């Protein structure tokens, strides 16, 4: 039995270097415009059997703006970044360069005083593994780019440091298919994705 999960990155996201750790800012005007521009392409995903989002304000607003009426899932919250919460990577580097270097060199380290990256990846993967498994069941989940990167590392069974090599753009959609412990990455064109939703 295969489950299909499509992750949609929240609007207003930016490059990995400009993202804020645990960003709890609401969706701004530019983000809303972004949602309106791509809504026609992502709206078919609203037909998914189950629709979820992370508790982040931008994720919730994106899901609502796309017509998903998603259910908030605490397990899809961003990584707990302790005292770096709200900072960009560049800002954290300016304040604590040695700590950031240590974290980038060893994803298990927590110089910021929060959740280790492997635990974050495991939490997101655990959420994925506990979705109801019905053959052909379709799920859509709107989340912050960091959450989607964590899910992809989990699905690919890649080393935690792989997290740094994945860039998730705002309102991009990526699919995975499978069931607990047996996931595969699913790359499709937008038209194929819309037709199957």
**Token reading at 47:** 């037909």
Q: Tell me what pLDDT residue 197 has.
A: 45
Tens-digit pLDDT profile for residues 124-150: 999 999 988 776 789 999 999 999 999
Between CA 174 and CA 152 the distance in angstroms is: 9
Instruction: Give the whole-angstrom CA distance, residue 162 versus residue 13.
Output: 20
* Residue 67 φ/ψ region, left for φ over 0, alpha for ψ in the -120 to 50 degree band, beta for the rest: left
Q: How distant is the alpha carbon of residue 168 from its chain centre?
A: 8
Length of the chain: 197
Helices of type H across the chain: 29-42, 57-65, 89-95, 97-105, 117-129, 145-156, 190-196
What is the pLDDT confidence band of residue 79, given thresholds at 50, 70 and 90?
very high
Q: In what side-by-side order are the strands of the sheet with 173-179? A: 71-72, 50-53, 137-143, 3-9, 173-179, 182-186
Q: What pLDDT, on a 0 to 100 scale, did the predictor assign at position 189?
A: 63
* Residue 91 pLDDT exceeds 60: yes
- Given a cut of 90, whether residue 100 has pLDDT beyond it is yes
CA–CA separation, 47 and 70 (whole Å): 12
* Arithmetic mean of pLDDT, 11-39: 76
- Summarised one tens digit per residue, pLDDT across range 165-185 is 999 988 999 999 998 889 999
Kindly state the percentage of the chain with pLDDT values over 70: 91
Q: For residue 176, is it left (φ>0), alpha (ψ between -120 and 50) or beta? A: beta
Residue 18 confidence class, pLDDT cut points 50, 70, 90: low
């Amino acid at each position: 039995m295969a489950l299909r999960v499509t992750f949609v990155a929240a609007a207003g996201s930016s490059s990995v270097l400009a993202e804020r750790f645990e960003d709890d800012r609401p969706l701004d005007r530019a983000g809303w415009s972004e949602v309106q521009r791509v809504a026609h392409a992502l709206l078919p995903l609203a037909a998914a059997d189950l629709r979820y989002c992370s508790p982040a304000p931008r994720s919730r607003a994106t899901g609502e703006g796309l017509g998903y009426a998603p259910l908030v899932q605490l397990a899809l919250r961003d990584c707990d970044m302790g005292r770096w919460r709200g900072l960009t990577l560049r800002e954290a580097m300016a304040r604590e360069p040695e700590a950031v270097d240590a974290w980038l060199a060893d994803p298990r380290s927590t110089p910021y005083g929060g959740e280790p990256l492997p635990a974050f990846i495991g939490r997101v993967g655990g959420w994925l593994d506990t979705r109801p498994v019905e053959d052909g069941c379709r799920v859509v989940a709107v989340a912050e780019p960091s959450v989607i990167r964590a899910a992809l590392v989990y699905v690919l069974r890649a080393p935690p440091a792989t997290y740094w090599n994945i860039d998730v753009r705002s309102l991009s959609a990526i699919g995975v298919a499978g069931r607990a412990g047996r996931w595969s990455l699913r790359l499709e064109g937008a038209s194929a994705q819309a037709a199957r939703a």
